């Protein structure tokens, strides 16, 4: 059974949303997944001039019809209506996306905007979806004119904390990589120093065996449970900086990491989900 069988693609008709569409299509093809597009509109988004001319219910009905037509027409070649379900919802954007995703979706692929949008923790909608959603969420950095790196490069990094939900994250990454025929690289970061501090990699003989040994044994035990034989790299340094360095070192095209439930105690990696996704130059899939 595929780990990803149903993908939900929220669209807001922005240039960034249009730019990421080929990436979303390619991801669906890679995983053999069904695609659905969702647009959430605000029925009360009318202005004072409209309200002066017509009654509010009439305006809301017209806006709903316009949103429906735009959704049907959005990237019709990549996502023909005969193959890709269109879902029109109204209300709070992030809450509606998360609620619809609970109806049987395995992955949400969020378009994000360039520039200051990402510098403000991915913007309110993406940040709220990461909070609200129960399924995996993939965010990707891109500009309105550049599509993200294709996933079929198939060099994926999985960041795990063996002391905090590591088995669940590794099992997911292992199954996903198998289905996508990707090379998986496991990374564990031993936290040390503040942002900007030097980063050390045990493969470069810059980490003493007694420092990395316990972590390697814990990761090996997780791999035994999951059935994974992926190579492991231990980094020492600030977690976010080390994870981003790992993706560069291994020429990765995706980073997989854990994202905890809102109501649970959060581990170190899960607390960093937003900031890593914000600063990463490649797609981040948080589970």
Domains for the chain: give ranges and CATH numbers.
Answer: 6-140 (3.40.50.620), 151-286 (3.40.50.620)
The pLDDT score that the predictor gives to residue 260 is: 63
With a pLDDT cut of 90, the percent of the chain lying above it is 47
User: Going by DSSP bridges, is the β-strand pair 6-10/155-159 parallel, antiparallel, or unpaired?
Assistant: unpaired
pLDDT band at 52 (very low <50, low <70, confident <90, very high): low
How many Å apart are CA 234 and CA 279, to the nearest integer? 21
**CA distances, 274 to each of 79, 94, 96, 139, 246 (Å):** 29, 15, 20, 10, 17
The pLDDT score that the predictor gives to residue 162 is: 85
Given a contact cutoff of 8 angstroms between Cβ atoms, the answer to whether 147 and 23 are in contact is yes
Environment class of residue 144 by beta-carbon count within 10 Å: exposed (0-12), middle (13-18) or buried (19+)? Answer: middle
Q: What is the mean pLDDT of residues 192-205?
A: 83
- Give pTM, 2 decimals: 0.85
User: Going by DSSP bridges, is the β-strand pair 284-286/6-10 parallel, antiparallel, or unpaired?
Assistant: unpaired
How many Å apart are CA 24 and CA 28, to the nearest integer? 6
pLDDT band at 153 (very low <50, low <70, confident <90, very high): low
């Amino acid at each position: 059974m595929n780990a990803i069988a149903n993908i939900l693609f929220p669209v807001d008709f922005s240039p960034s949303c249009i730019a990421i569409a080929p990436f979303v299509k390619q991801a669906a093809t890679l995983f053999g997944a069904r695609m659905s597009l969702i647009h959430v509109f605000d029925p009360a988004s009318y202005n004072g001039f409209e309200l002066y001319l017509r009654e509010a219910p009439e305006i809301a009905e017209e806006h709903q019809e316009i949103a429906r037509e735009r959704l049907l027409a959005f990237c019709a070649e990549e996502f023909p209506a005969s193959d890709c379900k269109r879902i029109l919802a109204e209300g709070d954007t992030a809450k509606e996306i998360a609620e619809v995703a609970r109806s049987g979706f395995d992955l949400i692929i969020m378009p994000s905007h360039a520039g200051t949008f990402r510098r403000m923790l991915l913007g309110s909608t993406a940040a709220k979806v990461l909070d609200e959603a129960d399924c995996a969420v993939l965010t990707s950095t891109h500009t309105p004119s550049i599509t993200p790196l294709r996933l079929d490069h198939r060099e994926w990094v999985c960041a795990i904390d063996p002391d905090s939900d590591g088995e669940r994250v590794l099992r997911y990454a292992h199954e996903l990589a198998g289905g996508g025929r990707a090379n998986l690289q496991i990374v564990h970061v031993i936290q040390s120093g503040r942002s900007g501090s030097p980063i050390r990699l045990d493969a470069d003989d810059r980490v003493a065996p007694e420092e990395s040994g316990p972590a390697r044994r814990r990761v090996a035990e997780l791999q035994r449970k999951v059935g994974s034989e992926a190579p492991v790299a231990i980094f020492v340094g600030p977690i976010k900086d080390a994870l981003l360095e790992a993706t560069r070192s291994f020429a990765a095209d995706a980073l997989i990491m854990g994202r905890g439930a809102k109501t649970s105690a959060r581990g170190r990696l899960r607390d960093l989900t937003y900031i890593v996704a914000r600063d990463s130059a490649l797609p981040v899939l948080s589970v």
